Structure 1
Amino acid sequence: MILQQYPHLEGQIGDILLEPERLLFIFDSLDESIYQIDFRSSTLFKPNQRTHFGEIVVSLVRQSLLKGCSVLMTSRPTRLGSVNTDVFQRIVEIMGILHEDRRTFFNNFFGNEEWSEKAFHYVQENDTLYTFCYIPAYCWIICTVLSMCFKAQPTITDQLMTSLPKTVTQLFVTFVSNILANHSQNTDGAHTARELLTSMGRMAEHGVMNHMIVFDERHLESFSVRNDKHLFSSFLMESGQPPDVDYTFLHLTLQEFFAALVHFIDYNADRLQETLDEAESYKDGRAKIFLRFLCGFLRLFY
């Protein structure tokens, strides 16, 4: 697994693994793993045994593999509810950035005292959005949306402030609609945008239901996602070099939003019911945010 990512270590890997107490493995986002990881038992003892990723992680954590190594993992709290956490020596809950840090983020983002003050005051008065600010990435999304709204008007009026998004669903709708406004000036552009949102939404939903956040060219082809460099890059990021190029949504929450949005762009009652049944069958929390967005759309449109 190490050599697949770092082939230049081939001549040194044997010596490196001889001192496991000097090794730290970091696995980010346990909740996004496609494998069912059961920490109750481990079966690996040698680092050259071939098996799936989940079994490697469990064996490192339970110290049957590379005894003495350190393992650091991150996860959304929802996934931890289905995991036996007794095996971990320490569990830390990250509470997010504090009030003053959030204010600093807004000040640095806008660089305009009037805008940053009005934006922060507006968000602080809205418990839903203010709670959402505990993660810097969410702060960026909120600030980006409010900045779009401010730039669209010559002056910041009370009428503008009352029209700003008040829920997380409205926030993402405004984020996407502002981006589309710059790409859909004619009928063909609007049609292309609708096609892209539909195809990306289907791919996003597939990812949510299968613990998948990284996609490749095969997924784009399978879901008919057209790589329109301008509009496409507004929602998805590319990494790697051809032919091994991967794609991820700007944020997992944006992927979950698109997965819900597609059911309102291309509504089909039977398909929606099948999706709801599938989402509710998962007990590891993978569809929790997706379901919340669905409820948010229902409040917006009905």
Structure 2
Amino acid sequence: MDPDCWCEVSDVVYGLIQHKLLPGCSVLVTSRPIALHLLEKAEISVWAEILGFVGDDRKEYFNRFFEDQTVAAAVFKHVEENEILYTMCYNPSYCWILSLSLGPFFTEKDMKQQQVPKTITQLYSYYIYNILKNHSREIEDPRDVLLKLGEMAFTGVSEKKIVFRNGDLIQYNLQPSRFLSGFLMELLERDDSVHSVFYTFPHLTIQEFVAALAQFLIAHPKNIQNLLCEAHGKEDGRFEIFLRFVAGLSSPQAAQPLVKFLSPFLHQTTCQVIEWVKKTLINLAGSVMDHSGKRSLLMMMHCLFESQNKALAQATVGSVKILNFDGLQLTPIDCVVLSHVIGFCDSIKELRLRECYIHCEGLQRLASVLHKCHILRYLLVQYFD
């Protein structure tokens, strides 16, 4: 209770939730701060972002995950050299996914000749590839099961649902199996004397990727743009990561690992996804935007980055007059994405970054491409300890 006493962050959070500290205050805790813009009208007195791993914490995670320290060093070196993957490592869950997906590239002979993932979509493609490679023999038609699982995952994303029960599996003609356990965690719920089982994906982003993969494969090419437009129209952020993955799957590098098990991706679908990204970006960048519009533009920059399509970047971002992000709080990952997308282009006419609260790590990510902007409008905020 002594305000001058040093203690762990967890103790402060626990004290607030238990109303032992600041009794009467309301406390909101979220693992998805992307949706906080919906609370603009609420009077929030104090907010804090717990950043997770910093500095050597990231390296230590990989050293502990791999028994072979040579492999740990090789995986971490690749991550460290890739800005988007390294920036993701603030989150322990992403470190786990990175370790599972990248480990085989440095331990298995047949993987050492493959291109190591550079984007988040490519990373998750190999995460799914490893499951299919190790478990596909356990089931007659792994593609069919994966697509049904993806439909269930998509319904979950649409309805903000991350917990599934036996009734959900039955609805999508899914049976518990060793193959399915590679995608879903089985958890036991105890209610008095009754025990029931429910299922969840190891991480929400895995659910979103499986949902995106299924829609990319089963949606009719003529309908995929309508699906993407409808998802993009939801302003609560539920489809943001899903849309990034769909855009990323238009990249041959992301699709290639999965073709062996899921058959080639339709060229018409890929073209429709690229066309949707192009039209949406041009419409957003060419309009007068409110805060919501700027968020949509930033989200589409993430989609463009995941697609790794240089020609598309030049035809969209390289042709607009103004990229306006004034008033948006840009994270280091946002800055990495902006840096790479701007790097795809020959030049940018005007970039606005006023009141974006870009911290030192974000500025470092942007610094190498700012010379490409003919006009740069920004406000540098000095932070004091």
Q: CA deviation at 1:87?
A: 3.0
Q: CA deviation at 1:297?
A: 0.1
1:24 paired residue number? 17
The structure showing larger relative contact order (alpha-carbon pairs under 8 Å, at least 6 residues apart) is: 1
> Does the 8 Å CA contact 2:105/2:114 hold for their aligned counterparts?
no
Q: Runs of 5+ in structure 2 lacking a partner?
A: 1-14, 256-269, 271-385
Q: CA deviation at 1:289?
A: 0.4
* Residue 245 of structure 2 is aligned to residue 293 of structure 1: yes
Report the RMSD for the aligned CA atoms in angstroms.
2.6
Q: Runs of 5+ in structure 1 lacking a partner?
A: 1-21, 27-62
* Residue 149 of structure 2 is aligned to residue 204 of structure 1: no
> Does the 8 Å CA contact 1:204/1:258 hold for their aligned counterparts?
yes
> Does the 8 Å CA contact 2:74/2:106 hold for their aligned counterparts?
no
Q: CA deviation at 1:236?
A: 0.7
Q: 1:291 to 1:278 in 2, by over 3 A?
A: same
* Residue 167 of structure 2 is aligned to residue 226 of structure 1: no
Matches within 5 A, 1:138-153: 138-153=94-109
Q: CA deviation at 1:223?
A: 1.8
* Residue 33 of structure 2 is aligned to residue 77 of structure 1: yes
Q: Secondary structure at the match of 2:27?
A: strand
Q: 1:75 to 1:121 in 2, by over 3 A?
A: closer
Q: 1:120 to 1:161 in 2, by over 3 A?
A: farther
Per-residue CA distance 1:213-264 (angstroms, 9 max, x = gap): 1111121111222211x11111111222476322111100000000100023
Per-residue CA distance 1:139-172 (angstroms, 9 max, x = gap): 0110111222333229xxxx92762111111111
**Counterpart code for 1:24:** I
* Residue 191 of structure 2 is aligned to residue 239 of structure 1: no
TM-score (norm 1): 0.70
CA distance in 1, matches of 2:52, 2:195: 38
**Counterpart code for 1:115:** V
Q: Secondary structure at the match of 2:125?
A: helix
**Counterpart code for 2:123:** L
Q: CA deviation at 1:85?
A: 6.2
CA distance in 2, matches of 1:82, 1:69: 20
1:121 paired residue number? 77
**Counterpart code for 2:247:** C
* Residue 59 of structure 2 is aligned to residue 103 of structure 1: yes
**Counterpart code for 2:122:** Q
**Structure 1 stretch 83-92 or stretch 171-180: which is displaced more?**
83-92
CA distance in 2, matches of 1:23, 1:140: 30
CA distance in 2, matches of 1:249, 1:271: 27
Match of 1:263 among 215, 219, 243: 215
Match of 1:171 among 117, 123, 132: 123
CA distance in 2, matches of 1:142, 1:110: 12
CA distance in 2, matches of 1:161, 1:134: 29
Q: 1:273 to 1:223 in 2, by over 3 A?
A: farther
Q: CA deviation at 1:88?
A: 3.0
CA distance in 1, matches of 2:54, 2:173: 42
> Does the 8 Å CA contact 2:62/2:76 hold for their aligned counterparts?
yes
CA distance in 1, matches of 2:79, 2:41: 35
> Does the 8 Å CA contact 2:208/2:242 hold for their aligned counterparts?
yes
* Residue 162 of structure 2 is aligned to residue 213 of structure 1: yes
**Counterpart code for 1:101:** D
Q: Secondary structure at the match of 1:246?
A: strand
Q: Secondary structure at the match of 1:92?
A: coil
* Residue 233 of structure 2 is aligned to residue 278 of structure 1: no
1:18 paired residue number? none
CA distance in 1, matches of 2:165, 2:114: 41
Q: 1:233 to 1:162 in 2, by over 3 A?
A: closer
Q: Secondary structure at the match of 1:182?
A: helix
Q: Secondary structure at the match of 1:245?
A: strand
Q: Secondary structure at the match of 1:298?
A: coil
TM-score (norm 2): 0.56
Number of residue pairs aligned between Structure 1 and Structure 2: 234
